[in-house]
Amino acid sequence: MVDDGTRKTTPRQAFTTASPDEVARFTALAEDWWEGEGSLAFLHKINPLRIAYIRDHAAGHFGRDPLADKPLKNLTLLDIGCGGGLLSEPMRRLAARVTGIDASQRNIAVAGRHARQSGLDIDYRCVLPESLADKGRSFDIVLHMEVIEHVANPQDFLRICSHLVRPGGTMMMSTINRTLKAFALAKVGAEYVLRLLPAGTHDWRKFIKPSELAAGLRPHGVEIIDLAGLTHNPFDDEWVLSRDLGVNYLAFAVKG
C-alpha cells in the first residue's frame, strides 16, 4: 500500500450519516476536484463567495479584522465533506488550524496530495463526523458546505455537527432550498440544460428549506444568525450574494 500521508480510519458500521451511493458518486469524481473547467466547475465558480462569507462572519464573530493578513489565526476549523480540499486550503491560508474530513478515501488522498504540493499543513482524515463527536472533539468553526443534501439522515447529521461546535463557536453551511424554482434551476437547469453539474448529482427531495435547517439545529443550542442567497446571472455567468434564498443559500449559525 502506498503511504499518501493521510490518516486512514474505517468509519464504524453501526450508525452512519454517509449515504453509500453519494460517497460512490463523489469518489468517482475525485480526480476532478482541482479541474477548474471540469465536472466540478460549479464549485470553483462559487468558491470565492463561500470563502468571503466564511471569513467575514467568522472574523466578525471572534472579533477579528476580516481584511487582516491572518484573520482566522489559531482558530480551529473542521471542514466536513471536504472533498479535494477546495475550502480547506483557503481556510488554512487564512491561518485557521484546519481538519478536513470526508467519507471517501480517494477524495482524502487527492486533498492530501494537493495540500502537500501547495505547502499547506492540513489534517485530512477519512472519517465521518460522528467518529469525531464520539471522541469529544469540538471546534471554533464547523463547515458543511454543499453536504447536507447528500447525507443519509439530515436530522442526525445536524445533531452531530452541532456537537462538534464548541460553546461560543460557529457553524456555516450552504445547501439548496426545496422549492420549485430550485427544481427548475438547480436540478433540471444546472444538470441537464447548462451542464454545470453531472446529471444525477442532486435529488430534489433531499433539498432542505432554511426553516427546516433552523429547526434541526435549534434543539442542540445552535441558532442561525444570517442567511444569504447564492444567485447566478446567466448573462455574464457570474455568481453573487443576494437576498434571494429560493435556490442556493448560505447560513451562519452560533452555538450559544
- pLDDT, mean of each 10-residue run, the chain (256 residues): 44 69 87 88 92 98 97 98 98 98 97 98 98 97 95 95 98 94 64 54 79 98 97 84 95 97
All three cell numbers of 224: 442561525
Spans of all domains in the chain: 7-175+204-255
DSSP H or E run through 225: strand 222-233
Between helix 154-163 and helix 210-217 the angle, nearest 10°, is: 50
DSSP H or E run through 22: helix 20-27
pLDDT at 199: 62
pLDDT at 59: 98
All three cell numbers of 56: 467575514
pLDDT at 200: 55
pLDDT at 84: 97
pLDDT at 85: 98
Inter-residue contact 140 to 130 (CB < 8 Å)? no
Q: Residue 182: is it exposed, middle or buried by C-beta count within 10 angstroms (0-12/13-18/19+)?
A: buried
Degrees (nearest 5) of the Cα angle 133, 136, 139? 80
All three cell numbers of 185: 434551476
pLDDT at 6: 47
What's this model's pTM, rounded to 2 decimal places?
0.89
pLDDT at 3: 43
pLDDT at 226: 98
Beta-strand ranges (E) seen in 46-122 are: 76-80, 97-101
Q: What's the CATH number of domain 7-175+204-255, 3.30.300.30, 3.40.50.150, 1.10.357.10, 3.40.50.2000?
A: 3.40.50.150
